[in-house]
Amino acid sequence: MRSPVKQALEETLALTLVLWTIEVLVNLKLWTSLFIARVLPTTGVDLLGLLLAQIQIALCLVLGVRLLAPVLARVLPGAGSARERRAMLGAAPAALVMLACARFEWGFQPGKTLQSLAVAGIVGILLWGFLRLLPWARREAPGTGPELFAWMSLPALVLGFVGGALARLTHGQLRFALITAVPALFSLGLVPLAWRARPRALRVGAHMIPSVAALLLGGHAVWVFRSYGETPAGEQMVPGGAERSIVLIVLDTLRADHLQRYGYSRNTMPFVEAWADGAMVFKRAVAAAGWTFPSHASMFTGQPVSLHGIHYSGSSAAAYYTRPVDGLSWLPREVAKEGLIPLAMSANPVAIPAGDYGFQRVLNLDRGAWWKQTLAGLIDDHVLPFMRSLNENLRWRMPYVSAADMVEIVQRATPDAPVFLFVNLLDAHHPYNPPASALRELGLDPPPLFGRYQFQYELPLSSRGDAAAVSQSIVDLYDGELRGMDKALARLLDWIDEALGEETIVIVTSDHGELLGEDGLIGHEYGLSQALIHVPLFVRDRRLGAGEIEAVVTTRAIYDYILGCARGEPAGIDRLVAEDEFGIVSERYVSGSMVELMGASYDRPWVALFEGDLKALGPSSYGAEVHNVAHDFVAAPLEASDAARSDTLADRVDAYWHTHWDRREASGDAQLSNQELDRLRALGYIQ
């Protein structure tokens, strides 16, 4: 007779393997890489983090079952604790799979902890009642080895695959439904072999097939990502004869005032600071928008947000405008005409317009599944949130590819030819999980559990009053991410000089900033404060030399500057500092998700317009403000002498809004797919 401790250990190990198999085969669907083109950025840390999370869940389930089984045995006639334990161990994974399937495949959004527990509990009770009636469950001897594993895994796998196939069929994705039906039928065929086959070796082999497949696919995913970016066999990029390469690096969510060159006390990015000594530094650059989609589109088109039409609006998370207006001139297409190979490599899946619009090759990395589409993440967020603190020091839950990995991808994917290379690095975007070494370099000595995840998604959208209290913790984490990203940038910028040549034109900027506790807010989901739209801008063009420019400029001007360089026009600062008919304008349309979460006061669009030392916010129909930004480009109260100018500037804001705002009807615009909405959820834009 085995001891209860040994039995519990065996059950925990078996259940861990079951959960791992479910995650890899059902939730992450790594097997689809064998059938359709899909790469899920995967590292060894991802697999280790996932495994540790599964051990935690399995241990909690086994302990819970062992506490509950004797109680049920007392109240159910003819029941035994071993019998109840076997039935519950078989029902638990299947219940979790059904909950995950409802969330990942059918779009069910579990709410509070009790709601999620109730859903899982109802499914588990129904399955438990069925399984305890089967002949195998009536044996008094506890199952071991293959029987125990098959008892727990195969029903869950069958339910998961069938649920996924039906969901895809319901969504009209016939091809994917048929592909998903293949492993469902295969798993169903394993059931009689794993439970009743003779000899025992055949049962062992049957039950091992799914777990071995999961282990091999995990290794396969890591291997594919290690070589991700290499030019596919048979595909060649033909150079077009341009003289020099142009590189645009967007450090997503980097606010200017967290760099020492812009007045910050900490030296968060020492390499970039030193590199900028040889570049033209623009001290007052203004992003065209307060978040990723519209800001990047303005850099790629040179147009304000209202005129390119890529923004969000509406009263629900699904009401997103993503279709650009007709007739736009896209930068990748234009530079390709001048002999440059346009390439895009982005850690932010929403940085590149959905149509790509001229990039010859796009590597748009999406890690959202690792954070959102696993049982481990679902359990952490909605059922056992205390586990999050145990997992937070591992980076497997991060929804984006790190800057270090992005640099390796860029180096593998860039050909030896003149290119227009766009790179987006996302490390400064929340959630923050900086390397411990980066924090120590900044003089911070975080404890093992530094609170990297506990408040990062709740505070920006629901707990404004608490945001200021924890703002220093957020600031420390944010600065740590900048220091870690700086190390990757050192490798990237050095590589550009070596591989593309020192004559390469390099532009380093950001698409928007971040609120880190100002006005009790964290994130970049609302408004156009200076913390959100004052971004760094460095241009290293050997023909320009080095220096500092105090004029207010817009990141929209990057379009004209790059296009002029590609056409071989004489170098000059004028294309960056000259204002067009729109002026230095930044915009933000209303976000439906913010209205739902934070109230009617967020139901408004924003326009910011700069003129000299003044910044006006409007339109006045929603409330107007005018600030003086003469000192360090920080908004301050107006001086008495500014009164007349402020009225004129406020009128310009209203005139711009009434003349240019995007009037297209929602019915005429493309809405995001479920996959694209999941990407935005993973990055915190919607809930």
| CATH of the structural domain 246-365+400-580, one choice from 3.40.50.720, 2.30.40.10, 3.90.1300.10, 3.40.720.10 | 3.40.720.10
Q: Are 347 and 252 in contact (CB under 8 A)?
A: yes
pLDDT of residue 466: 52
| pLDDT above 60 for 449 | no
Grade residue 451 by pLDDT with cuts at 50, 70 and 90: very low
- Give the C-alpha distances (Å, rounded to integers) separating 42 from 220, 302, 557, 668: 9, 35, 37, 38
Alpha-carbon dihedral sign for residues 125, 131, 137, 142: negative
Grade residue 592 by pLDDT with cuts at 50, 70 and 90: low
pLDDT of residue 479: 94
More reliable by pLDDT, 536 or 100? 536
| pLDDT above 70 for 687 | no
> Of 247, 252, 250, 229, nearest to 421 (Cα)?
247
pLDDT of residue 83: 72
| pLDDT above 60 for 682 | no
| pLDDT above 80 for 42 | yes
Grade residue 578 by pLDDT with cuts at 50, 70 and 90: confident
Mean pLDDT of 373-393: 63
| pLDDT above 70 for 648 | yes
| pLDDT above 60 for 462 | no
| pLDDT above 90 for 188 | no
| pLDDT above 50 for 40 | yes
Residue 483: other Cβ atoms inside 10 A: 24
More reliable by pLDDT, 27 or 672? 27
The least confident of 345-354, 378-387, 469-478 is: 378-387
Grade residue 617 by pLDDT with cuts at 50, 70 and 90: very high
| pLDDT above 90 for 671 | no
| pLDDT above 90 for 344 | yes
The least confident of 198-202, 273-277, 454-458, 626-630 is: 454-458
Of these ranges, 350-364, 593-607, 662-676, the one predicted with the greatest mean pLDDT is 350-364
Instruction: Answer left, alpha or beta for residue 29, where phi above 0 means left and psi between -120 and 50 means alpha.
Output: left
More reliable by pLDDT, 265 or 163? 265
Tell me the backbone φ, ψ of residue 253, rounded to 5 degrees.
70, 20
Grade residue 554 by pLDDT with cuts at 50, 70 and 90: very high
Model confidence over 208-265: pLDDT tens digits? 888 888 989 998 888 888 888 887 766 667 667 788 999 999 999 999 999 999 999 9
| pLDDT above 90 for 47 | no
Grade residue 375 by pLDDT with cuts at 50, 70 and 90: confident
Grade residue 633 by pLDDT with cuts at 50, 70 and 90: very high
pLDDT of residue 463: 41
Residue spans per domain, the chain: 4-226, 246-365+400-580
Of these ranges, 12-16, 358-362, 490-494, 620-624, the one predicted with the greatest mean pLDDT is 490-494
pLDDT of residue 388: 57
More reliable by pLDDT, 86 or 454? 86
Distance of alpha carbon 517 from alpha carbon 27, whole angstroms: 36
In angstroms, the first-to-last Cα distance of the chain is: 51
> Of 525, 517, 531, 557, nearest to 634 (Cα)?
531
The CA-based diameter of the chain, rounded to the nearest angstrom, is 94
Mean pLDDT of 163-179: 82
Model confidence over 409-431: pLDDT tens digits? 999 999 989 999 999 999 999 87
